[in-house]
Amino acid sequence: MRNPLRSEAEAFRFVIITLAAFAAIAIATALGGWIAGTLVFLLVTVIVFMSYYRQPGEEPVRQTPAAHSPDEYRLLVIANETVAGRELFDTIVRLTRDHDATVLVVAPALVDRTHAWTSDVDPARAAAQGRLDVSLANLAAAGIEATGEVGDGDPLVAFGDAYRTFGPDEAVISTHTPEHSGWLEQGVVEKARERFDVPITHVVVESVTA
């Protein structure tokens, strides 16, 4: 949705729209009484709302990560149900084996809207934490220094949060296959590549064996 007060020019356009809308309402009321005026008001409100709602929002700001020591290699991993997947584990090992690496694994809590609105997020966070623990244990067993955290339910927000504080040199987003991945349906990988100034590897996990 486009913000009607995004800038002075947008606000000025909104003045013109308001002027036209209320002129129409006043004319309708003068000609057909308050019922006609109310109908025009409702009609105009719906049209204006839909018009703004359908316009694309502002482009996200492309972000740059926080800096860290040049000798250190930092890898950010965003994964949830696939966090303990074999393909993801192999990718992390491959990317970190030639570096003095620090890995941060972020598992966004999968919270649907109903639970988010009712603040009933604890079960989803607990489930994410459980999967994360398995993944961290596997990485530790392979000799990889990794920390983990449960992130925001929106994978892009979780990515952004970790991105700004952790400052990764590279990132991995792990998803299910395209037929089963909600993240891929939402275009999470493409949006992350547009938004964050860091190389991103997309890993598809066929099946998860915890």
Partner 1 sequence: MEAHVAHHGPPAAHASSRVNREVLGMFLFIASEVMVFGSFFAMYFFIRVVNGVPWPTPPFHLPVYVAGINTLILVTSSFTMHWSLQSIKKGNRAGMKAGLVLTVLMGLTFLLTQLMEYSRIGFAPHNGAFGSVFYSLTGLHGAHVLVGLTILTCMTIRAFRGHFSPEHHNGVEIAGIYWHFVDVMWIIVYTTVYIL
How far apart are the two ends of the chain, measured CA to CA in Å? 41
Is 37 a binding residue for partner 1 by CB under 8 A? The answer is yes
Cβ proximity of 158 and 108 under 8 Å: yes
CB of 22 to partner 1, least distance (A): 4
Is 33 a binding residue for partner 1 by CB under 8 A? The answer is no
Is 31 a binding residue for partner 1 by CB under 8 A? The answer is no
Closer CB to partner 1, residue 7 or residue 207? 7
- Residues facing residue 91 across a β-bridge: none
Is 52 a binding residue for partner 1 by CB under 8 A? The answer is no
Is 32 a binding residue for partner 1 by CB under 8 A? The answer is no
Rounded distance between C-alpha atoms, residue 115 and residue 85, angstroms: 26
Is 60 a binding residue for partner 1 by CB under 8 A? The answer is yes
Q: Which of 1, 11, 42, 126 binds partner 1 (CB under 8 A)?
A: 11
**Neighbour-count burial for 168-204, b at 16+ CB within 10 Å, e otherwise:** bbbbbbbbbeeeebebbeeebbeebbebbebebbbbb
Is 98 a binding residue for partner 1 by CB under 8 A? The answer is no
Burial status of residue 40 (CB atoms within 10 A of its CB: 0-12, 13-18, 19 or more): buried
Is 191 a binding residue for partner 1 by CB under 8 A? The answer is no
Closer CB to partner 1, residue 12 or residue 49? 12
116 φ, ψ (degrees, to nearest 5): -65, -45
Is 58 a binding residue for partner 1 by CB under 8 A? The answer is yes
Q: Which of 160, 174, 176, 198 binds partner 1 (CB under 8 A)?
A: 160
CB of 107 to partner 1, least distance (A): 20
